[in-house]
Structure formats: structure tokens, C-alpha cells
Amino acid sequence: MLRFSLYVAAGVLSIASSVYASSFIGTTDSIGASLAKTVNASSDATSSIGDDKVVVDARDDAASFVVSEGSIRGAHLEAALSHIRRELPNLEATDMQLAEAILAR
């Protein structure tokens, strides 16, 4: 009887761990897909101005901004963000999304 209980417990634990693992994978996949869609949407929206000298010059500042999680805001990035918002007034994107789109170009 003890052996049977151990088998049942092992079976329940293996099922529970696989369910947890699959839900974790599902969650991370959906978060990753959401982030990719956000970057792609911002990148598509800025593709028309992506070759502008102002935007191209902001790549290094955009990288610093993304890596520092928004703490470092260089002059080139500020100019590019202003330029993008002026050219695309209906664009609803955060500074971080635009910086990531600049880097994706």
C-alpha cells in the first residue's frame, strides 16, 4: 500500500510540475510576443522617418536610454523624439518604445 501511495504522489507531482512549466512557458511566450508586436508597430510607424539624419544620429543615445531604463536621455535622442512626434502626431508610443524602434532600424 505504501508503494502504491508513493507512485500516486509521484504521478501527481509530475503532472503538477508539467502544468506549471507549460503555464510559465505560455506566459513568457505571450509577454514576448506582446513586446515584439509593440516594437514592430513602433518600428513600422517610424519607418517613413527612420532614414532621417536626426533619427539615425540618435542611435547611440537611444541605446544608452534603453540600457539605462530611461535614465540617460541624450540630446540626439531628445531631438529625434521631438522630430518623430512632430512628423507623426497621432503616434501613441512611449519614449522607450520609440527608442527601441530607433534601435531596430
**Residue range 65-81, pLDDT digits in tens:** 999 999 999 999 999 99
Please tell me whether the overall predicted TM-score, pTM, comes out greater than 0.85 for this model: no
pLDDT tens-digit map of 6-54: 555 555 555 554 444 444 454 445 555 554 555 555 555 545 666 788 8
Phi, psi of 70, rounded to the nearest 5 degrees: 95, 0
Helix residue ranges, H only, the chain: 2-46, 53-56, 59-67, 75-87, 95-104
CA atoms within 13 A of residue 64's CA, in its CB half-sphere: 13
By three-state DSSP, how is residue 48 classified? coil
Which residue ranges make up each domain of the chain? 2-104
Query: Locate cell 511566450: which residue?
Result: 29
Give every CB contact of residue 51 below 8 A, 6+ residues apart in sequence: 105
